[in-house]
């Protein structure tokens, strides 16, 4: 294999011919694709963005408004000022957001999450026996195993029925909430995919407050703690070298920032595609703002300070939502804005210290909003990034599945409503070259983020010739297999590989997975390992991130030479 000189051709600007990209050696291919992405030669089609925002308004906000209309003393749709910020409206917003996500209508849906046909996962998997699941342990009788059985399907169907029953009720009572709270907790044992899809670290924890904090306004105090914990830990998780690349990538992918501003987010557009000082300033400013939001809202009493805090909070979440963040968690950002306005704008008089009157509930809240997030930030390999509240910090566990083309068909042995991303695109795009180019664009997403630097060291250890393998993002492939994905690499890592291997029977060398773990809070490295589907771990290591900040996103120098073959 011939390695192209990466320092040459700075005047060679995109767009590039598809044949040139697809025929290039791997290091050069990554460079060309990263430059294509930076130049936004093929940005997201406007119709796709419109489709998503119609979904947010009609299905998410509209669905919530529909269910609120069943509430007692409902004044009518044309009087939102009288019903939108009532207690029952807030409670139904939580119930609807949970239902919406578990059904697969939220962040894990549509083309921005590599779901084309069908455009959703969720209930298409969770209601189908034989689909792959990820229990707490495969050895637990009845609820273990790697495939959903009729018990799993019945459990999910019952959960949905109880949630809908509460949504159409005139008021939310503990009796209505108890079945859903218990059933979702059971999913933590039987199928952690469903448990995480329910955004249990947020929605389920808040439901516990609705269920138990029935005295006066204690449930509002309780919910305020959850909102503030999310802001605090999300900000804390951004205290790393990764977040500037997130801002650089996200804003460049967004539809509203002007072209000149997008270029300024790169260190030296288009020759140096590391995040610039401007990107770092925006990132650090956002982190400071996220820390500031709970401080202002907890310390204010409904006056001008509260108003300013709510404006800051709305601007913060609005900025994320309108820039098409990876995974498209826009509905969640909408709910954070709505909840912040309800809890702190409409109930500034309710303090959080009142929870001391219920020590058991306060202890439960401490575990979920302090102990688990703290543990997950310092030991990210032991907890989901969702339970750790490490949202969108650019420091995620992820996996790259390298599959020999002649072995890809073995994935068809799995019971799943969706094919691989290639299979889905082949039914939409005109020819193989276009499909190959579309699949190759995912390289930009991985390498332009700082967390991708670990691949510079790990990938050459994975296979002898990477050109002989098809690159599959674990996030995308995992979503097609288990029905839900949202940035949690643990859902498409070792446990999923083991379940897939049992069902597909890959031979040695047919599938190699590069598994990269998050960088611990205050830790210096990202740990990684290469796992063969049949034989297990074949290589492992740790990549120090600080020295890697000087490297280009794509392989150059010794990292490019590692792909040279005699």
Query: Residue 10's pLDDT band (boundaries 50, 70, 90)?
Result: low
pLDDT for position 254 = 86
Q: In the predicted model, what is the mean pLDDT of the chain? A: 94
Res 176 pLDDT > 60: yes
DSSP sequence for 143-182: T-SSB--HHHHHHHHHHHHHHHHHHTSSS--HHHHHHHHH
The per-residue pLDDT for range 413-433, each reduced to its tens digit, is: 999 999 999 999 998 999 999
The per-residue pLDDT for range 85-119, each reduced to its tens digit, is: 999 999 999 999 999 999 999 998 999 888 999 99
pLDDT for position 4 = 37
The per-residue pLDDT for range 463-518, each reduced to its tens digit, is: 999 999 999 999 999 999 999 999 899 999 999 999 999 999 999 999 999 999 99
473: three-class secondary structure by DSSP: strand
Contact 529, 543 (CB under 8 A): no
> Whole-angstrom Cα distance, residue 82 to residue 75?
7
Tokens 């400071």 belong to 288
Percent of the chain whose predicted confidence (pLDDT) is above 90: 88
Smallest Cα–Cα separation from 404: which of 541, 553, 504, 516? 504
The per-residue pLDDT for range 33-45, each reduced to its tens digit, is: 999 999 986 567 8
Tokens 């190959």 belong to 436
pLDDT for position 1 = 34
> Whole-angstrom Cα distance, residue 44 to residue 57?
20
- Each domain of the chain, given as residue ranges in start order, spans 45-174, 199-394, 396-561
pLDDT for position 42 = 59
- Find out whether the peptide bond into 269 is cis, omega within 30 degrees of 0: no
The per-residue pLDDT for range 196-208, each reduced to its tens digit, is: 999 999 999 999 9
Name the pTM for this structure. Answer: 0.95
- Greatest CA separation for the chain: 78
Cα 166 to Cα 93, 160, 317, distances in angstroms? 11, 10, 28
H or E stretch at 332:
helix 330-340
Neighbouring CB atoms inside 10 A of 424's CB total: 21
pLDDT for position 41 = 66
pLDDT for position 2 = 33
Query: Residue 13's pLDDT band (boundaries 50, 70, 90)?
Result: confident
> Whole-angstrom Cα distance, residue 367 to residue 348?
25
> Whole-angstrom Cα distance, residue 229 to residue 373?
9
pLDDT for position 502 = 98
The per-residue pLDDT for range 261-272, each reduced to its tens digit, is: 999 999 999 999
**333's tokens:** 């950002």
**334's tokens:** 């909408």
The per-residue pLDDT for range 130-171, each reduced to its tens digit, is: 999 999 998 888 888 999 999 999 999 999 999 999 999 999
Neighbouring CB atoms inside 10 A of 413's CB total: 11
pLDDT for position 5 = 39
The per-residue pLDDT for range 431-475, each reduced to its tens digit, is: 999 999 999 999 999 999 999 999 999 999 999 999 999 999 999
SS (H, E, C) 221-256: HHHHHHHHHHHHHHHHCCCCCCHHHHHHHHHHHCCC
Contact 465, 25 (CB under 8 A): no
Res 258 pLDDT > 60: yes
Residues contacting residue 190 through CB under 8 Å, at least 6 positions apart:
133, 135, 136, 140, 143, 151, 152, 155
pLDDT for position 11 = 72
Residues contacting residue 284 through CB under 8 Å, at least 6 positions apart:
243, 244
More confident site: 255 or 76? 76
pLDDT for position 184 = 98
């Amino acid at each position: 294999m011939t390695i192209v000189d990466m320092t040459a051709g700075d005047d060679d600007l995109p767009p590039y011919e598809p044949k040139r990209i697809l025929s290039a050696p791997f290091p050069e291919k990554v460079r060309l694709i990263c430059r294509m992405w930076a130049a936004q030669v093929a940005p997201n089609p406007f119709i796709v963005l419109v489709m998503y925002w119609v979904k947010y308004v009609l299905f998410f906000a509209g669905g919530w408004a529909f269910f609120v209309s069943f509430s007692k003393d409902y004044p009518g749709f044309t009087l939102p000022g009288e019903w939108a910020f009532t207690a029952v409206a807030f409670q139904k917003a939580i119930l609807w957001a949970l239902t919406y996500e578990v059904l697969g209508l939220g962040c894990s849906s549509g083309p921005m999450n590599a779901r084309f046909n069908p455009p959703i996962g969720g209930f298409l998997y969770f209601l189908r026996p034989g689909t792959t699941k990820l229990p707490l342990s495969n050895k637990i009788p009845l609820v273990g195993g790697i495939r959903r059985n009729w018990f799993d399907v019945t459990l999910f169907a019952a959960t949905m029925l109880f949630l809908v029953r509460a949504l159409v009720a005139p008021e939310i009572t503990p009796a209505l909430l108890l079945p859903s709270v218990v059933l979702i907790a059971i999913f933590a044992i039987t199928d952690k995919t469903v448990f995480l899809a329910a955004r249990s670290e947020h929605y389920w924890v808040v439901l516990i407050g609705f269920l138990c904090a029935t005295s006066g306004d204690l449930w509002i105090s309780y919910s305020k703690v959850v909102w503030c914990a999310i802001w605090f830990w999300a900000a804390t998780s951004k205290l790393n070298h990764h977040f500037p690349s997130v801002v650089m990538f996200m804003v460049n992918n967004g539809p509203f920032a002007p072209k000149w501003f997008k270029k300024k987010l790169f260190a030296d557009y288009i020759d140096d595609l590391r995040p610039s000082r401007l990107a770092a300033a925006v990132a650090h400013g956002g982190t400071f703002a996220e820390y500031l939001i709970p401080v202002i809202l907890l310390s204010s009493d409904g006056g001008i300070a509260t108003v300013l805090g709510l404006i800051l909070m709305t601007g913060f979440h609005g900025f994320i939502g309108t820039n098409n963040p990876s995974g498209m968690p826009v509905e969640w950002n909408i709910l954070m804005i709505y909840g912040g306005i309800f809890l702190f704008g409409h109930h500034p008089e309710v303090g959080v210290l009142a929870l001391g009157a219920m020590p058991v509930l306060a202890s439960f809240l401490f575990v979920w909003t302090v102990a688990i997030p703290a543990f997950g930030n310092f030991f990210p390999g032991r907890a989901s990034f969702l339970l750790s509240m490490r949202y969108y910090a650019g420091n995620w566990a992820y996996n790259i599945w390298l599959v020999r083309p002649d072995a890809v068909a073995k994935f068809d042995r799995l019971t799943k409503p969706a094919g691989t991303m290639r299979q889905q695109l082949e039914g939409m795009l005109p020819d193989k070259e276009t499909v190959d180019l579309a699949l190759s664009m995912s390289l930009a997403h991985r390498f332009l983020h700082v967390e991708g630097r670990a691949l510079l060291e790990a990938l050459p250890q994975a296979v002898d010739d990477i050109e002989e393998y098809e690159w599959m993002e674990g996030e995308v492939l995992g979503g097609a297999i288990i029905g839900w994905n949202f940035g949690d690499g643990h859902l498409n890592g070792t446990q999923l590989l083991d379940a897939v291997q049992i069902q597909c029977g890959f031979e040695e060398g047919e599938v190699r997975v590069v598994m990269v773990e998050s960088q611990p809070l205050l830790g210096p490295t990202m740990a990684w390992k290469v796992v063969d589907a049949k034989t297990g771990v074949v290589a492992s290591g740790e990549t120090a991130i600080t020295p890697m900040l000087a490297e280009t996103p794509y392989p150059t120098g010794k990292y490019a030479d590692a792909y040279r073959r005699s």
